[in-house]
Amino acid sequence: MPEFFQSIAGAVIEDGVLQHLGSPLAEQRALTTGAAIAPLGERAVLAVAGEDRLSWLDSLTSQALARLAPGQSTELLVLDPQGHIEHAASVIDDGETAWLITDRADAPGLLSWLTRMRFRLRVVPRDASDEFAVVGGTVAALAAVAAAAPAGVPLVWRDPWPGVSAGGYGYAVPDVHPGAERDWAEAIVTVAELQLLADAAAHGERTLAGAIAADALRVAAWRPRRADVDERTLPHELDWLRTAVHLDKGCYRGQETVAKVHNLGHPPRRLVALHLDGSDTVLPVPGDEVTADGVVVGAITSAALHWEEGPIALALVRRSTPVDIDLVVVTKDAAVAAAQEVVVPPEAGATASIPRMPRLGRRTRTS
């Protein structure tokens, strides 16, 4: 629904997504403080109605959903038989329907797979993106937004990241996780409400931010999304066992690999956060090679220019890549030096060697 935002001064729209309104760095700060909300046109909304919806989703995915309470937020992964990530979605149930927020590019494949897996169960999955949209921001900022509530439960999904959900496991071991201070939620709103938000922004009555700003805050929090996944990605590699996998639930496709890698082995790759040197205008793109001593050891999954940290990125590298070695990112314009920060340590997996994460505190900023 990009036409909603065309009348807003400075709005830059690409592929139907509001990218920014002239100042992505200022928009990041406004999102962080709760002064702005971000229309997330890159998101799609799937609705799964029917009496069997939660037990059905529980049996198909990595998350324990059978007893999900109305209004509770969680997320799920759909894995292939070898444990590789195929689809991902944020989940909130309102007592009558399970609502899935997923990346727009992933929605057709996820819906097609869910439809094929219905069999004789009482479930009705559908794409609800023509009726509903998604906006993001702090919990307080979204409190002023009229979230959809078809069954009386406001459809506001609160991001559980980087907490370790019941049945999950955290590999990252910093004293304070950089995502600990990220206050993020996503509200499902009606198309009519989205139009009202756009109209208010056009008249200076509401401050909006674009997708570039929202994604930069995600990258700084080491928060994975479907866009960080390739055909070989295991959830362990992205530290996604934290919030999207329940290690103690019943059988589902890919569970054997999840359990084996977590308990007995090590994931072949590991996520690193990169602080990029050089000009702020040279940002890598997903797929750009990451090298160590001239040897390719991985690739960029996401990159952003952060309002405090400067140019940053997430990358998947070989598990054997030394944690103290300088890396170089090869872009189409230049080779960019990068200092790595360990997200998933090389010894991740074989859980006896990794302590449980302590309770998270708030991140301490440095000037």
pLDDT tens digits, one per residue of 146-194:
999 999 999 999 999 999 999 999 999 878 899 999 999 999 999 999 9
What is residue 3's predicted lDDT score, i.e. its pLDDT? 80
Q: What pLDDT, in 10s, does the model give residues 206-237?
A: 999 999 999 999 999 999 999 999 999 999 99
CATH 2.40.30.110 domain range(s) in the chain: 269-343
Number of Cβ within 10 Å of residue 146's Cβ equals 14
Give the residue from 53, 71, 74 showing the smallest Cα distance to 153: 71
By the 10 Å C-beta count (0-12 exposed, 13-18 middle, 19+ buried), 87 is classed as: buried
This prediction has a pTM of: 0.93
**pLDDT surpassing 70 at residue 354:** no
Are the C-beta atoms of residues 156 and 70 closer than 8 Å to each other?
no
CATH architecture assigned to 2-227: 2-Layer Sandwich (3.30)
- Rounded to 5, what percent of the chain is helix, strand, coil? 20, 30, 50
**Fold of the domain built from segment(s) 269-343:** Elongation Factor Tu (Ef-tu); domain 3 (2.40.30)
| 135 in Cβ contact with 40 (< 8 Å) | yes
178 and 221 Cβ atoms separated by less than 8 Å: yes
3-state secondary structure of 46: strand
Residues of the chain with CATH 3.30.1360.120: 2-227
For the chain, give the percent of residues with pLDDT over 70. 94
Residue-wise pLDDT for 89-137, tens only, equals 999 999 999 999 999 999 999 999 999 999 889 999 999 999 999 999 9
pLDDT band for 361, please (50, 70, 90 cuts). very low
Is residue 178 reached through a cis peptide bond, with omega within 30 degrees of 0 on the bond before it? Answer: no
| pLDDT of res. 364 | 40
Q: Are 89 and 102 in contact (CB under 8 A)?
A: yes
* pLDDT tens profile 28-79: 999 999 999 999 999 999 999 999 999 999 999 999 999 999 999 999 999 9
Residue type, 345: P
Helix or strand run (H / E) with residue 77: strand 73-79
The pLDDT of residue 366 is above 90: no
